Structure 1
Amino acid sequence: MSYDVAAIRSRFPALRAGIAHFDGPGGSQVPDAVAGAVAGALTSPLANRGTITGGERAADAIVHGARAAMADLLGADPRGVVFGRSMTALTFDLARTLAAGWGPGDEIVVTRLDHDANIRPWVIAAEAAGATVRWLDLDPDTAELDDIGPLLSERTRLVAVTGASNLVGTRPDVPAIAAAVHAAGALLMVDGVHLTAHEPVDVRAMGADFYACSPYKFLGPHCGVLAADPALLETLHPAKLLPATDAVPERFELGTLPYELLAGTTAAVEFLAGLDTAATGDRRVRLVTSMTAVSAHERPLRERIEAHLATLPGVTVRSRASTRTPTLLVTVEGREPGEVYRYLAERRIAAPASSFYALECSRRLGLGDGGALRIGLSCYTDDGDVDRLLEALSALVGN
């Protein structure tokens, strides 16, 4: 493995401002190559997709390039990669489409671990169809999900679960959940927004029927991606404009795609593939190698933070799952989360406090709607950032 974090950091213009960023779970910083790709698309001839003019061909090439890039990142079929405004918007659209075939007696399962974007669209769609919503709980002491088995039956139509919690980092055993869900004859929707930034992803191996993520969480622009087997997408018929194509995946993409953002998404995937400079092979192989290196880089930094926080009086880490991303949810006795957030911000350390839309999880952990301080590591986090964070927190509690 060859992972040079100093060289990686040099490619992020925002890091020159001197802020220690632990806010990656809410949106990563962006490398120069991504900004350049967005600008390049916007300043080159561009038009609606087609085959006649140079602008039309450029737009078409951008879309196909972005589908291929995301397929490589996720281990998916590019013919099943759908782009949209956000993961939330794509999930709402998918939920409405699937729910058209639901009715009374049908059941869907959502979890108390998930971001609300993988809960509320399904709850709203199920209620509108007269279907029943069943909840998979979590243990507040370990932040681990309960066994899904007792909630499944021949009436189950869909299960929605996160690949990794954006609040506490818990990584459920998705392949095991997928096996149980498919044995019941149901579909599995995986929210991969938080997971994709930290680990190699293979949607086929994990058993996800639908996998959604957001490029802005892994160094790219603000848009959303849904990956599925194109054969499955062929069976679904979303509402669309009459002149719009009925081809898959385009039938799921409402309106004109943001070509400049898709160009930036491809650039982000290319950048990720080169994080381990020793990686060789095709882009998919280099992505797996590089994302494995990201995980190996982030893990000891997370362990160092955890070890230090364990020595600080009144500091409690709520992220305790046996398998998790480098994301720590922290409370400080006698201090409101927002107070700690502002204290760190004054020292040019970005570590926000909230429930971060994981409202059910925050409530289940006893933190109410306000949540707690979240410390999130990214591929560009280094020991200097960690030094600053730990020194500031030590000073805060007087240790």
Structure 2
Amino acid sequence: MTTTTTTPPPAPGFRDRFPALANTVHLAACSIAPRSTDMDHALATMLDNLSHPGFWTACEQQLHEARRRFAHLIGADVAQVAILPNTCVAAYQAVAGLRWRRRPYVVCATAEFPGVAHVWLAQQPRGAWVRWCGTRAGQVTTDDYLRAVTSQTALVSVPAVTYRDAIRLSIPRIADAAHAVGAQVFVDAYQAAGVMPVNVGALRCDYLAAGTGKYLLGLPGLTFLYVRHPRGHLPTLTGWFGRIDPHAHDATALDFPPHARRFETGTPSTAAVYAAIAGLSLIDRLDLDAVHRHTQQLITATAERLTAQGESVRLVAQPEGQGAHLALVEPHTEAMAAWLAPRGIIVAPRGGVIRLAMHAYTTDDDINALCEAIASYRAGSRARQRTGATR
């Protein structure tokens, strides 16, 4: 059996927190996190709290702890972090305060996650125009962004890592270009936070959103929104969590706190909040620089082996431009994913590629199992084609 050679996993014992990995290869963290014992404990705590008086008080404590932990992760102040149900709502909260008469353009890439790009497109009736950069096939570079930013740009939206092909862009360079003409910068860090260092000071962005259901090892249903200047504008989408004192219960008073909680809306998913703390606690155990090196070594080894097997992969030319997953080109993505699943290999099909996501728990044995399974899948496909040809 061919083996790959990488450094040991960056956190001894970390994989043990995910019991299912004993018999499952989970390469789908770019889509959904694997279940951990920490998440199980957090949800059991939530159910226990639900059985006793004071459940909502306990939930509010969890909310504060989740904000605090995420702020620490990205190098922000807790007053700059809001909790929202998903990244689409976070994007809307960032863009809703913009006026388009003098600066009508939003710059974003064709590689943007559709749910975020659709928020920008929905601003067109208000006078906004979307200026696309990159190819129609979803390839984009930092220079594409730099060429698209002009004095008429109001907002630049840039994914920290693109969701399909794992292209990692130079956000500081893009942010500097945007700020030089007076534009703001929104970063979708969903495919980066938790698996590589993300620091808002270094990125120099105005907004950053990251959900908990992927590399942050929590559940779907929760997104953190970082706001560089929380006093900037008053949101038009709001709710009782966006008040100075949510417990005032005054339907006639629309007041906004001076911090990022003004962007919050209604009651969030309590299960996702409890799970978020579990996931962030796990991430806090990691040296994310070491995790990033580990994932890049695994990706390089996987790409070399799959290419040797005759597969086509999309690997960014420069290592610093690669996210934490590898895109395997495959026209029948759902069929391959469905074939791999009962064999204990979980992948993430999307847009003509099979995404193979690495994390701190991913090992050489996982890659060996994946590559051997894909070789078997191809052999079976060729056998089926020969059989069909002889009928």
What is the TM-score with the length of structure 1 in the denominator? 0.82
Alignment correspondent of 1:397: 378
Counterpart code for 1:341: A
Q: Which moved more, 1:73-82 or 1:291-300?
A: 291-300
| Structure 1 counterpart of 2:37, from 32, 39, 60 | 32
**Structure 1 residues 104 and 131, CA gap change in structure 2 (3 angstroms):** farther
Distance 1:35 1:192 in 2: 25
Distance 2:47 2:100 in 1: 42
Distance 2:309 2:140 in 1: 22
Counterpart code for 2:31: G
Alpha-carbon contact 2:59-2:270 (below 8 Å) kept: yes
Residue 388 of structure 1 and its aligned partner are, at CA, apart by 0.6
Distance 1:141 1:250 in 2: 34
Alignment correspondent of 1:21: 26
What is the TM-score with the length of structure 2 in the denominator? 0.83
**Structure 1 residues 348 and 120, CA gap change in structure 2 (3 angstroms):** same
**What are the Cα deviations for residues 163-221 of structure 1, in whole angstroms up to 9, with x where unaligned?**
00121111000000000000010000000000113211101210110000111111112
Alignment correspondent of 2:69: 69
Q: What secondary structure sits across from 1:149 in the alignment?
A: helix
1:108 aligns with 2:106: yes
Q: Which moved more, 1:196-205 or 1:256-265?
A: 256-265
Alignment correspondent of 2:291: 294
**What are the Cα deviations for residues 122-157 of structure 1, in whole angstroms up to 9, with x where unaligned?**
1211x1212222111149697534432332222211
Number of aligned residue pairs: give it. Answer: 357
Distance 1:158 1:376 in 2: 30
Distance 1:29 1:350 in 2: 10
Alignment correspondent of 1:250: 261
- Structure 2 gap ranges (5+): 1-6, 240-250, 383-391
Distance 1:240 1:393 in 2: 48
Mapping of 1:102-181 within 5 angstroms? Answer: 102-103=100-101, 106-125=104-123, 127-138=124-135, 144-181=141-178
Counterpart code for 1:393: I
Alpha-carbon contact 2:159-2:169 (below 8 Å) kept: yes
Alignment correspondent of 1:92: 92
Alpha-carbon contact 2:256-2:262 (below 8 Å) kept: yes
Distance 2:21 2:303 in 1: 24
Residue 348 of structure 1 and its aligned partner are, at CA, apart by 1.9
Residue 56 of structure 1 and its aligned partner are, at CA, apart by 5.1
Counterpart code for 2:71: A
- Structure 1 gap ranges (5+): 48-52, 276-289, 356-370
| Structure 2 counterpart of 1:329, from 305, 327, 333 | 327
Distance 1:78 1:105 in 2: 31
| Structure 1 counterpart of 2:274, from 253, 263, 271 | 263
| Structure 2 counterpart of 1:318, from 314, 322, 325 | 314
Alpha-carbon contact 2:104-2:152 (below 8 Å) kept: yes
Alignment correspondent of 2:193: 196
Counterpart code for 1:374: R
Distance 2:322 2:136 in 1: 15
Residue 82 of structure 1 and its aligned partner are, at CA, apart by 0.9
Alpha-carbon contact 2:80-2:260 (below 8 Å) kept: yes
Alignment correspondent of 2:234: 236
1:344 aligns with 2:340: yes
Distance 1:239 1:349 in 2: 41
1:220 aligns with 2:218: yes
Q: What secondary structure sits across from 2:122 in the alignment?
A: helix
Counterpart code for 1:84: L
Q: What secondary structure sits across from 1:375 in the alignment?
A: strand
Alignment correspondent of 2:244: none
1:374 aligns with 2:345: no
Residue 118 of structure 1 and its aligned partner are, at CA, apart by 2.5
Alpha-carbon contact 1:244-1:251 (below 8 Å) kept: no
Counterpart code for 1:39: A
Distance 2:72 2:360 in 1: 19
Q: Which moved more, 1:242-251 or 1:183-192?
A: 242-251
Alpha-carbon contact 2:328-2:354 (below 8 Å) kept: yes
Distance 1:347 1:267 in 2: 29
Residue 291 of structure 1 and its aligned partner are, at CA, apart by 1.1
Q: What secondary structure sits across from 2:158 in the alignment?
A: strand
Alpha-carbon contact 1:164-1:195 (below 8 Å) kept: yes
Distance 2:88 2:375 in 1: 37
Alpha-carbon contact 1:199-1:294 (below 8 Å) kept: yes
Alignment correspondent of 1:306: 303
Alignment correspondent of 2:388: none
Counterpart code for 1:150: R
**What are the Cα deviations for residues 37-72 of structure 1, in whole angstroms up to 9, with x where unaligned?**
23213322699xxxxx85454333222211110101
Distance 1:91 1:337 in 2: 29
Distance 1:266 1:88 in 2: 22
**Structure 1 residues 46 and 347, CA gap change in structure 2 (3 angstroms):** closer
Distance 1:137 1:145 in 2: 9
- Aligned-pair identity in percent equals 24
